[in-house]
Structure 1
Amino acid sequence: MSKTQIARYNIGQVIRHRLYEMRGVIFDVDASPAAADIGPMQGPGTPGLFYRMFAVDDQIPYVACIAEQDLLPDQSGEPVNHPEIGGLLEVDEGGGYRRRKRLMN
């Protein structure tokens, strides 16, 4: 039987990396580190959750997969400017992001 993990962050939440100048919007959560460049594992057993996000670093957009322990909530209130956000997420009334009801091609 697999152990259930509770995600600390949500789809559409803007986050930042705890060490590097990177901000992003989460679009997927995964328990598998297969797509991540994870470095050292946290503690014994499972490494935790990984978040896929539309990220920007010095205004260069890319898709990242980062371990939960390396992320913090972003409190800046600034939007994330990434060309792929509109395909999966839309901006809500409060300026946050949420999943699109219909995906764009």
Structure 2
Amino acid sequence: MKQRVAKFNIGEVVRHKVFPFRGVIFDVDPEFANTEEWWNAIPAEVRPSKDQPFYHLLAENDENEYVAYVSEQNLMKDESGVPLRNEQVYQIFDQAPTGKLKPKMSLAN
């Protein structure tokens, strides 16, 4: 499998193309790196290919905050400008005056 360069970056706010949630990226896998059980739980007709970047998100929908694992093909940049309400976001990231989220220096490698 050929690895691809990730389209999105850590700290970028994205939204799912199909499901009503959005979140901030806190980690990126260059290709699928979850369990086969997780993979097989996705209906075959909407199952994405494994040879693309997958993103770990601090995600939220109208009711909940949670961690999501999403393929690149199912994400798009969130242009809403609405702040994320998940408190974990602000434990991991600092928000610049421009609104951009940057990892806190104490957590950066």
Same fold (TM over 0.5): yes
Q: Is 1:41 equivalent to 2:40 in the alignment?
A: no
Conserved? CA contact 1:35–1:65, under 8 Å:
no
Q: Write the distance in 1 (CA, Å) between the matches of 2:5 and 2:22.
A: 22
**Identical aligned pairs, as a percentage?**
32
- Asked whether the equivalents of residues 11 and 93 of structure 2 are also in contact (C-alpha less than 8 Å), the reply is yes
Q: How many residues align?
A: 99
Residue deviations 1:15-52, cap 9 Å, x none? 0000111010001001233169453233xxx4311000
Worse-matched range after superposition: 6-15 or 78-87: 78-87
The structure with more helix, counted as a fraction of residues: 2
Matches of 1:35 and 1:7, distance apart in 2: 21
Once the two structures are superposed, what CA deviation does each residue of 1:27-85 show, in whole Å capped at 9, x if it has no partner?
1001233169453233xxx4311000110011410011101101011111111111211
* Partner SS, residue 33 of structure 1: coil
Hey, what does 1:101 align to over in structure 2? 105
List runs of 5+ in structure 2 lacking aligned partners.
Answer: none
TM-score, structure 1 length as denominator? 0.82
